[in-house]
């Protein structure tokens, strides 16, 4: 393993005047897919791509948490890339995905017997995120921040962040965390953060999504999604009346209904309860199964881990901007749906193939 001093020297020699630019860059995304492919240990069907052309790996973290890992790459021309590994074939990695209760986007987490993970991913107190992927970020941060600090201390300011599948979800949360660290002064105010989430599932609720989209506005983030891929549709979401803004009339529905004359009030309140109660019961079930029970299973493989208090929310939403790769007739002919091959539309090769044919009409360099 390279020493921090050597890493700083390497980073220092790589920083030039090249600057990351806002907006989707097709060549940048295709290179990132090649980088992701180069970091996969056990190659799965549909994930093998050619070697990266622009970036070279200069650090690879140990495997931590629930089989999480990240790598640091440089293009030797002013940009480093933080690449987060996605789901692996190991069951513990899949458990991280299923451990999908929500927790507040700002708080602390006892990962193990080591230091507590203090995190802030949003300035909105109602924001909440996926606990399993946040747990992964907590473990990865222990090596990631020191390495990033070394590069920034050497004068670097261009940081590309990316990941595919679970790695894309982790990229969302890491990006939110780094932007908050920048806002607090923990990272330099002039550091440039640009993120490509690829095939990413939904990492948090609507307040988190809105705050993330506002923070990264102007073309500094994108999630690339194959419309035939089911992974970005997950996790399962349940929206209740508790998830609305305070001025939404549904939030004040019961007090308003009670002002109706009898017996209209009884009839309308009965109809409202039939709509409202099932969603809240589903939310309680999700919290119990995907939080309480899944948390106990996760803790068995993580000595010292203390499951946090879960949020009363399961309103997972997709976070934009979204660049949709819409399969055409040629793609559908070559890759007709096959229920026995559930990841046939999810692999790097399928995303690479669709992106090579992608026509970026409607996209500008400002990301608007």
> How confident is the model over 276-335, as pLDDT tens digits?
899 999 999 999 999 999 999 999 999 999 999 999 999 999 999 999 999 999 999 999
Question: 270: part of which helix (H) or strand (E)?
Answer: helix 264-287
Q: Which residues contact 157 (CB under 8 A, 6 or more apart)?
A: 15, 188, 190, 191, 192
Residue 186 has pLDDT above 50, yes or no: yes
The whole-number average pLDDT for the span 171-176 is 98
Most confident of 29-43, 255-269, 328-342: 328-342
In-domain check, residue 36? yes
Least confident interval from 53-62, 189-198, 273-282, 283-292:
273-282
Residue 24 has pLDDT above 50, yes or no: yes
Least confident interval from 5-14, 52-61, 210-219:
5-14
211 near 123, Cβ under 8 Å?
yes
In-domain check, residue 53? yes
Q: List C-alpha distances in Å: 307 to 160, 255, 298.
A: 31, 37, 9
Reduced to 3 states (helix: H, G, I; strand: E, B; else coil), residue 322 is: strand
Residue 364 has pLDDT above 80, yes or no: no
Task: Give rounded-to-5 percent helix, strand, coil for the chain.
Answer: 40, 15, 45
| β-bridge partners, 111 | none
Quote the CA–CA distance of 160 and 82 in Å, as a whole number: 6
**Taking Cα atoms as reference points, which of 28, 47, 44, 25 lies closest to residue 36?**
47
In-domain check, residue 278? no
In-domain check, residue 28? yes
Going 53 to 367 to 176 to 311, the CA torsion angle's sign is negative
99 near 185, Cβ under 8 Å?
no
287 near 240, Cβ under 8 Å?
no
Task: State the pTM of this model.
Answer: 0.91
pLDDT category at 361 given cuts 50, 70, 90 is confident
In-domain check, residue 74? yes
Residue 2 has pLDDT above 60, yes or no: no
Identify the domain containing residue 178 by its residue range: 4-238+304-356
**Taking Cα atoms as reference points, which of 53, 54, 47, 66 lies closest to residue 165?**
47
Residue 14 has pLDDT above 50, yes or no: no
Least confident interval from 22-26, 63-67, 248-252, 327-331:
248-252
Whole-number pLDDT of residue 43? 55
In-domain check, residue 126? yes
Whole-number pLDDT of residue 265? 67
In-domain check, residue 291? no
Provide the mean pLDDT of the chain. 91
Whole-number pLDDT of residue 267? 65
Quote the CA–CA distance of 368 and 357 in Å, as a whole number: 21
Q: What percent of the chain has pLDDT over 90?
A: 79
Whole-number pLDDT of residue 53? 97
Q: List C-alpha distances in Å: 242 to 42, 101, 191, 202, 213.
A: 43, 16, 37, 19, 22
In-domain check, residue 253? no
- The total of other beta-carbon atoms located within 10 Å of residue 157's CB is 18
> Number of structural domains, the chain?
1
Residue 247 has pLDDT above 90, yes or no: no
| β-bridge partners, 223 | 197, 322
Reduced to 3 states (helix: H, G, I; strand: E, B; else coil), residue 200 is: coil
**Taking Cα atoms as reference points, which of 133, 140, 153, 138 lies closest to residue 59?**
140
Residue 266 has pLDDT above 80, yes or no: no
CATH code of the domain containing 46: 3.40.50.1820
Whole-number pLDDT of residue 362? 55
């Amino acid at each position: 393993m390279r020493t921090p001093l050597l890493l700083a020297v390497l980073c220092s020699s790589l920083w030039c005047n090249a600057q990351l630019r806002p907006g989707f860059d097709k060549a940048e995304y295709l290179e990132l897919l090649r980088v992701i492919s180069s970091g996969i240990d056990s190659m799965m069907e549909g994930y093998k791509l050619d070697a990266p052309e622009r970036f070279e790996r200069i650090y690879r973290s140990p495997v931590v948490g629930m089989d999480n890992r990240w790598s640091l790459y440089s293009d030797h021309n002013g940009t480093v890339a933080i690449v987060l590994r996605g789901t692996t074939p190991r069951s513990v990695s899949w458990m991280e995905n299923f451990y999908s209760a929500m927790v507040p986007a700002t708080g602390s987490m006892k990962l193990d017997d080591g230091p507590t993970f203090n995190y802030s991913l949003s300035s909105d107190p109602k924001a909440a995120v996926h606990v399993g992927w946040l747990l992964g970020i907590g473990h990865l941060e222990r090596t990631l921040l020191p390495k990033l600090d070394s590069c920034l201390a050497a004068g670097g300011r261009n940081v590309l962040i990316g990941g595919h599948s679970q790695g894309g979800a982790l990229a969302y949360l890491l990006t939110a965390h780094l932007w908050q660290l920048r806002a607090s002064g923990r990272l330099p105010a002039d550091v440039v953060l640009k993120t490509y989430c690829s095939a990413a599932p939904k990492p948090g609720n609507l307040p988190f999504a809105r705050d993330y989209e506002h923070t990264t506005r102007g073309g500094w983030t994108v999630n690339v999604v194959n419309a035939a891929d089911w992974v970005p549709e997950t996790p399962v979401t349940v929206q209740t009346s508790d998830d609305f803004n305070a001025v939404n009339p549904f939030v004040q529905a019961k007090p308003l209904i009670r002002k109706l004359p009898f017996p209209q009030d009884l009839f309308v309140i009965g109809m409202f309860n039939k709509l409202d109660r099932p969603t809240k019961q589903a939310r309680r079930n999700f919290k119990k199964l995907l939080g309480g029970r899944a948390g106990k299973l996760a803790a068995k493989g993580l000595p010292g881990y203390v499951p946090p208090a879960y949020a009363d929310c399961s309103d997972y939403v997709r976070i934009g901007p979204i660049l949709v790769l819409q399969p055409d007739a040629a793609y559908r002919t070559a890759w007709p749906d096959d229920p026995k091959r559930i990841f046939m539309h999810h692999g790097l090769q399928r995303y690479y193939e669709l992106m090579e044919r992608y026509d970026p009409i409607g996209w500008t360099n400002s990301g608007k």
